[in-house]
Structure 1
């Protein structure tokens, strides 16, 4: 599931978030149709998996220690890799869409909004867990539904500190916690039939919007679209399909997320300079380049304690103990 989320994310940024970015494809291009269809799964899946991972080691004590670890794991790479991204954008003349440099990370940069937003979500859910709020499945399901309904109505100017997009990620994170904690894989056939039925209806509604038959579902500002994301994540959890290359790729999901844009942009510029016009070739090359750079960034960062700390959010290197004097 992590590998699938990485693949969908990289494809999105190769195509571009809108017709004016990335490959600048029109909305009626087949590649755009594929990327747009994944809107309802891509970022929900990243958040869902973050909640699933949290549920494997939930907060039981030491709230401040949890906050410090999350800040190290998410915010340090945000400041290092995110700032590098902003600098590179300015150097290549692509910084028009960025906030002023002095507001970087107060106003999230590009896809790095996720690191800020998931930090707030993780801390909020951990505190709810510490207070015993998430011990009953009925309560957790109720919180997911409330988050689905209330989230789209929250407005934070300029998405300050990623707080607005945090409300978008919250229901998926909670669903991931509940899916593991209350063993969704052990549920009976009634639940599974109901889940599949609701998912099919919502997929049909989303498809009708993408085809222009009905008004299109907003990907991040609709309770219906977010409910579809929750259902798709749960359906994936219930499947027993294993795709080995995606399993391998998923192990590098963090650096694929943070660093893939360096590869996708480089691929696009090189192919443009070479006069390559094939959209399919540019899409495939961009996806391969983005995934390769993401995996390579982690392999390189692992080689030294300081790069591991700055790029991967690992523990800070400890100073060697002073040798006792004779």
Structure 2
């Protein structure tokens, strides 16, 4: 009923998946923006990282009904999947198993990842645990906060180490706030962080006395949709509204450029989700991650 096309060329993938990406630009924001970064040359691949692939899923009539990718530059290199029919998700699981791909974490849309992981465990044995449950939010009517001291400015090339440290702290801190012990995998290499800064996609909130107090980054618009993130404020600077002000300022810039704006937020982190809802973001889909403790992964 379904056919799968695994592709190693992002140009070919975009041409094949364009009907889906353009029809569902918010829900496909991760795949579209990551692929665009590959095309710009801003996606680094450390030594030992597997070669990236993209996936197009078609139904019996040839219509694109799903997509995925495995492009993460850092271990455990989790694949990512947008929503697709359950039978298609099962076919993806069987095909990855036949390809011999050792998948430890699967990220993407619910219930697709739940179905895919369940089928994988039928084939390989083992168990699965949830690493995170997130929601995809789209900005409807921006409510900009007032009275927050300081201002937003673009990050400088000499601030790569500062930004990288905050990006590395993002996962553990987000997990701590949500009451989890399994942090989100690292999100950027130093090279990709430097590329994002050079492109002007990373901004810092600076206090009135000139101290950087947090970071708000964004992914440029793909198919008309820009995605904010990551957003991080170190513990010593929290409680002053810097993150809310940074997200609002970046969102205003993106809206003024004609983009729709979205972001992901941890469903269990009531602090961050509360901020985004007050700014005017509304949840439109459930996403997350699952860790597989497969029998054929053990001992590796």
For the pair shown, which has the larger CA radius of gyration, 1 or 2? 1
TM-score normalised by structure 2 residue count:
0.27
Q: Which protein, 1 or 2, shows the higher relative CO under an 8 Å CA cutoff with sep ≥ 6?
A: 1
TM-score of the aligned structures, taking structure 1 as reference length: 0.25
Write 1 or 2 for the structure with the bigger share of helix.
1
